[in-house]
Amino acid sequence: MNRIVNLRKFIFPLLIVMLICSSGVIAQNPTKEINTIFPIGYKIEGGNFVGTAWVKRLFAADSTSNSAIGNVTFEPKARSNWHYHPAGQILMALNGIGYYQEKGKELQILRRGDVVKCPQM
């Protein structure tokens, strides 16, 4: 299980590109305060998220590729609740500092450039 993101909308296997912010408060227009090459996307309402997070689908799965790619941006101190992805997922930290943890394992600190392969369930 991980604490990063629940994207039931995506077809698995899933590749998540994520941006984790480490400090500061994000204003109503977060793109002015977050240095990212990807668009912020839309604000995620409800679901597994606590705090403010945004998601932007970058690539949808199709008949050629069974993978989807999304960019998830977390406001400082935002998080996702415990959940899992049946086919696993890949997390890429693009900026800031974040945390990742699998059930029964030690917490991992993620920094810019870190990649985590989440196991299949």
| SS3 (DSSP) at 32 | helix
**What residue has token string 């679901």?**
47
The pTM of this model reads: 0.67
Domains annotated for the chain, with CATH where assigned, are 14-118 (2.60.120.10)
For a pLDDT cut of 90, what percent of the chain falls above it?
A: 27
Q: Sort residue 47 into left (φ over 0), alpha (ψ -120 to 50) or beta.
A: left
Distances (CA, A) of 27 to 45, 58, 110: 17, 23, 24
Give pLDDT tens digits for 46-72: 888 999 999 999 988 888 988 889 999
d(CA 26, CA 12): 31
d(CA 26, CA 30): 5
Stretches where the chain sits below pLDDT 70 are 1-36
DSSP annotation of 104 reads T
